[in-house]
Structure 1
Amino acid sequence: MINNKYENVEDFLIDNTFQEYCAGDNQQCIQYWTNYLHKHPEQEATMIQAKRLYHILVGNKRPLDAQVGKLKADIQALAPIPTITKFQFSFWIKTAAALVILTGGLLWAIQRSSVEGVASQQRDVSYVTANGEKKTIELADGSKVTLNAGSKLFMDKGFNVNERHVHLTGEAFFDVSSNKEKPFIVHTQDFDIRVLGTSFNVKAYPEETTSEAVLIHGLIEMKSKRGNENLVLLKPNQKVTIYKAEEKIEGKESVKKVKKSQLKEIAIQDLEPEEDNLTLPDVAWKENRLEIIDQDFSSLQHVLERWYDVEIQLQDEHLQDYRFTATFNKERIDQVLNALQKVQPFKYKIYGKKITIYK
């Protein structure tokens, strides 16, 4: 590694391992930078700019170092010829001009990339959590948002100037500051939520078969997407669940197209905490409490993957139908699996961050 601190595009470009990652020639470098991106999601935009700039400079042909090295070799090979002074002078002028053009092109490309980066930053601001991570942020309007694992929240740079729109993928708990002139609107893949000032939880992971919203205080208006637009008003301690229809795959085997289908069903449920001093199970994750309520193994698999930052494989289809109800606080993943084994019979093997579950 050339540089241990990466703050801008240039820091990535001067790293030889990053160049090999961009070229796709070295599997070890590809794995390293893939893991680096996973650990530093906040640098995704900068890495994309650096990778784009790399391909502009090399033309998707050869590494930049190889091109510069060949140019130096050509200069050294031609320099010893003493009898063609006039030709040498002309050659050096052309070589200098080429270097000026190359340097100018590099500076232009870096400046252009930087300008595009600034423009991109002006377009939106994003917050990302990796699996096994939670994060609480305060927005420009004073609203507080807690992101659950494997989630992303982004908004326009001008958030709270004229309006308050945010886009969510994953799960988040919102405590929204009141402002009647600027309604707070949360956009997800399956529905939009409009509020004035309240606290609520939204769960909208693309890979899951349902999307949910739970209202704690205040009043929210939810409008579903995909097909008929259903408008739902939620009261405190109410939960709305949207059941997604299965996505259809169309086309030949070589070219498959995923067609988004309409929503299958919408259900509203009144919730009550099990005890007065406990929060609702749907938002217990904010207190690092994992609540599992009559959940099948297929959906629980995704929850555990995000919670513990692991990859789980169910080797038997019958395992997917196993259902569990349990509460966990600070247990390790092996302790959780051991507890679940007492409810339903299964075996498991752990290889680092990969877990295989079988009968």
Structure 2
Amino acid sequence: MQKSKTETLIQKYLSHQLNEQELEELKLWIEEDASHREIFVKLLSLHHVNNQLNLLHQFDKEASWKSIQHRCNRSHTIHRRIAIYSSAAAIAILIGITSILYFNGQKPVPAIAQNEQPQQSPLPKNTETPKATWVQANHSVVPLYENQREINGSHINNGEIIFPQESDSPHKPKLDTELLQNKIIVPKGSEYAIVLADGTKVKMNADSHIDFPVQFGDTREVTLEGEAMFEVTHDEARPFIIKTHDHAIYVLGTTFNISAYPDEELSVTLIEGKLKVNAPSGEYYLLPGEHYSSAQSKVSKVDTEFYISWTEGAMEFDAMPFPLLIARLSRCYNVDIQIASKELETMKFTGVIFRNKPLDFALDIIHRVSDVKFEKKGETILVKKQ
């Protein structure tokens, strides 16, 4: 494979643009020589650790490749960065390229014993399995499937429910419709999308739920627990308010992500527009590309891709504490995974997990490139240090 071709494939991988044929070519190049794998893993680590190689398709190709070569040739610099990460017990791994580390036809050793291997799929495929649950204002419970007929004026199709729109009946809603609350509950192992009465789009992540009125009145207020991506319809006269944990997020019209799972920090990442976060510690204003963290009680500039990649089927992590990674995997795949070795609680994870890959593949790759092993005990998967 020519150098220029390798360069292009690596750049396209880092920007999530590889097609199936290019993916196979990259796999072959990595498997040609152990040094190729070492270079690739180093580049992946540099990409996530420094955020300097993000979205490489926007940069000049030749200049990017020279920068990559320069970093690889400076072995002492790379070793120093790897040493820093090793001291923090960090993992820089690739998850999602099929069998990328299975060299020379070696038979893979499963992370979990074969007779205990969990049978998992990344997302429910059975159309008979509800993608979400709709608790109506009258407390009746309606399971929501991938494709479904109209229910009470709400259209359901392709994993999305569209509620009756205000634009179809612009008169002021009655007080009782403002007070009556709907709830959408998204279970572990699933995702679901909602279009609220004002046209606001909400994409819900696994193990999340949102409460909202049948119709909005003079204000638009919802309550969220879990994670969701919002595209709020602009309405200067009616602010959109999201209440979660002990915070309130105010917005007129913008795109942003909120992660507010129980026992985890609240994080708000702004993609477009402007919003205000009311927190116990004060008020915080966000501009595009900024991130609020309740753990640090501050706003900082971030690579937003790490916080919204889940909406495109890939989850990117940058030095994420291992316990949080395990919690994400448990929600994503609807399994009980627990850390059984205390020393793993200080590990950190940098890499990419693709949702269309099964859990056993992800665990096997983690097992192969890190100092951990997985054991099945009943319905629980234990993570231990090797």
Q: Settle same-fold status: TM greater than 0.5.
A: yes
2:301 is equivalent to residue 270 of structure 1? yes
Structure 1 residues 3-61: Cα deviation after superposition (integer angstroms, max 9, x where no partner)? xxxxxxxxxxxxxxxxxxxxxxxxxxxxxxxxx999874369447xxxxxxxxxxxxxx
- Between the aligned partners of 2:339 and 2:316, the Cα distance in structure 1 is 21
Structure 1 unaligned residues grouped into runs of 5+: 1-35, 48-118, 244-264, 274-279
- Larger RCO (CA within 8 A; separation ≥ 6): 2
- Between the aligned partners of 2:368 and 2:255, the Cα distance in structure 1 is 37
Look up the match of 2:352: 327
- Between the aligned partners of 1:136 and 1:242, the Cα distance in structure 2 is 26
Aligned equivalent of 1:216, options 264, 271, 295: 271
Q: Secondary structure at the match of 1:232?
A: strand
Look up the match of 2:309: 284
**Pairing 1:41-60 to 2, within 5 Å after superposition:** 41-42=133-134, 45-46=139-140
Q: Contact 1:200–1:217 at 8 Å: present in 2 too?
A: yes
Count of residues in correspondence between the two structures: 221
Alignment CA distance shift 1:40-1:203 (3 Å): closer
**Pairing 1:302-313 to 2, within 5 Å after superposition:** 302-313=327-338
Structure 1 residues 215-250: Cα deviation after superposition (integer angstroms, max 9, x where no partner)? 00000011113xx4x10110001011111xxxxxxx
Q: Secondary structure at the match of 2:360?
A: helix
Aligned equivalent of 1:239, options 288, 291, 303: 291
Q: Which amino acid aligns with 2:243?
A: H
TM-score scaled to structure 2, two decimals? 0.53
Q: Which amino acid aligns with 2:284?
A: V
Q: Contact 1:167–1:186 at 8 Å: present in 2 too?
A: yes
- Between the aligned partners of 2:288 and 2:298, the Cα distance in structure 1 is 16
- Between the aligned partners of 1:185 and 1:120, the Cα distance in structure 2 is 18
Q: Contact 2:131–2:186 at 8 Å: present in 1 too?
A: no
Look up the match of 1:182: 238
Q: Which amino acid aligns with 1:171?
A: E
Q: Contact 1:204–1:212 at 8 Å: present in 2 too?
A: yes
Q: Secondary structure at the match of 2:258?
A: strand
**Pairing 1:59-98 to 2, within 5 Å after superposition:** none
Identity of aligned residues (%): 29
Look up the match of 2:196: 139
Look up the match of 2:340: 315
Look up the match of 1:207: 263
Look up the match of 2:248: 192
Alignment CA distance shift 1:124-1:241 (3 Å): same
- Between the aligned partners of 1:303 and 1:297, the Cα distance in structure 2 is 10
The structure richer in helix per residue is: 1
- Between the aligned partners of 1:43 and 1:266, the Cα distance in structure 2 is 34
Alignment CA distance shift 1:40-1:331 (3 Å): closer
Shift of 1:184: 0.5
* Structure (1 or 2) with the larger CA radius of gyration: 1
Structure 1 residues 85-112: Cα deviation after superposition (integer angstroms, max 9, x where no partner)? xxxxxxxxxxxxxxxxxxxxxxxxxxxx
- Between the aligned partners of 2:140 and 2:291, the Cα distance in structure 1 is 39
- Between the aligned partners of 1:300 and 1:156, the Cα distance in structure 2 is 33
- Between the aligned partners of 2:306 and 2:235, the Cα distance in structure 1 is 29
Q: Contact 2:132–2:184 at 8 Å: present in 1 too?
A: no
- Between the aligned partners of 2:218 and 2:319, the Cα distance in structure 1 is 43
Q: Contact 2:132–2:190 at 8 Å: present in 1 too?
A: no
Q: Which amino acid aligns with 1:217?
A: E
Look up the match of 2:211: 154
Q: Contact 2:134–2:185 at 8 Å: present in 1 too?
A: yes
- Between the aligned partners of 2:255 and 2:132, the Cα distance in structure 1 is 29
TM-score scaled to structure 1, two decimals? 0.57
Q: Contact 2:178–2:215 at 8 Å: present in 1 too?
A: no
Shift of 1:353: 5.2
- Between the aligned partners of 1:353 and 1:288, the Cα distance in structure 2 is 26
Shift of 1:313: 1.6
